């Protein structure tokens, strides 16, 4: 899984996908799958996503990925 995520990261620079992959690869487990399992069980509010602990971090993330977030929101709204 690590190799596949690294390939995806190389192909998706400066996207939300890349941000999530970086968090998964940097989480500290040998297998990034554990990151996703923990994220699913405990959520971001657990503090496990170190790049989103403070409100200022969340605002920065939102500002950085605003267009992509709006595209996703629009697609979900259309469904």
pLDDT, mean of residues 44-71: 91
Confidence bin at 45 (pLDDT 50/70/90): confident
Residue 46 has pLDDT above 90, yes or no: no
Confidence bin at 39 (pLDDT 50/70/90): very high
Q: For 51, how many CA atoms within 13 A lie in the half-sphere containing its CB?
A: 13
Asked whether 15 and 26 are in contact (CB, 8 A), the reply is no
Q: What is the 3-state secondary structure (H, E, C) of the chain?
A: CHHHHHHHHHHCCCCHHHHHHHHHHHCCCCCCHHHHHHHHHHCHHHCCCHHHCCHHHHHHHHHHCHHHHHHHHHHHHHC
Residue 27 has pLDDT above 90, yes or no: no
> What is the value of pTM for the model shown?
0.78
**Tokens 């390939």, located at residue:** 7
% of the chain with per-residue pLDDT over 70: 100
């Amino acid at each position: 899984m690590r190799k596949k995520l690294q390939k995806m990261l190389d192909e998706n620079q400066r996207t939300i996908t890349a941000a999530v992959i970086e968090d998964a690869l940097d989480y500290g487990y040998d297998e990034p799958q554990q990151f996703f399992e923990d994220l699913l069980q405990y959520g971001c509010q657990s503090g496990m996503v170190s790049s989103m602990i403070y409100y200022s971090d969340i605002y920065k993330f939102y500002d950085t990925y605003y267009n992509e977030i709006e595209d996703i929101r629009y697609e979900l709204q259309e469904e």
